[in-house]
Amino acid sequence: MKHRMAAAMVVAAGTVLAGIASGPASASTAAADYERCQSADYPSVAFSHTVCVTFRGNGSGVPPNDVIRMNVRSSGRTGIGHWELFGPHGTVSNSLDGEWKDRTHDWAGYQDSSFGDRWCAVFWRDGGGGSGYYRATPPVCVTSYFP
In the chain, where are the structural domains located? Answer: 31-143
Report residue 100's pLDDT band, with 50, 70 and 90 as the boundaries. Answer: confident
* The pLDDT value given to residue 84: 93
Are 70 and 95 in contact by the 8 Å Cβ rule? The answer is: no
In this prediction, residues 125-134 reach a mean pLDDT of 89
* The pLDDT value given to residue 37: 93
Which one, of 83, 73, 62, lies nearest residue 145 by Cα? 62
Over 80: is that where the pLDDT of 3 sits?
A: no
Q: Distance (Å, rounded) from C-alpha 25 to C-alpha 5?
A: 31
Over 50: is that where the pLDDT of 132 sits?
A: yes
Q: What architecture (CATH level 2) is domain 31-143?
A: Single Sheet (2.20)
* The pLDDT value given to residue 101: 75
The pTM of the full predicted model, rounded to 2 decimals, is: 0.69
pLDDT by residue (tens digit) across 35-58? Answer: 899 998 877 666 788 999 998 876
Determine the straight-line distance between the first and last CA of the chain, rounded to whole angstroms. 64
pLDDT by residue (tens digit) across 72-96? Answer: 988 877 778 889 999 999 999 998 8
Report residue 119's pLDDT band, with 50, 70 and 90 as the boundaries. Answer: very high
User: Residue 124 pairs with which residues in a beta bridge?
Assistant: 82, 135
* The pLDDT value given to residue 19: 36
Are 70 and 38 in contact by the 8 Å Cβ rule? The answer is: no
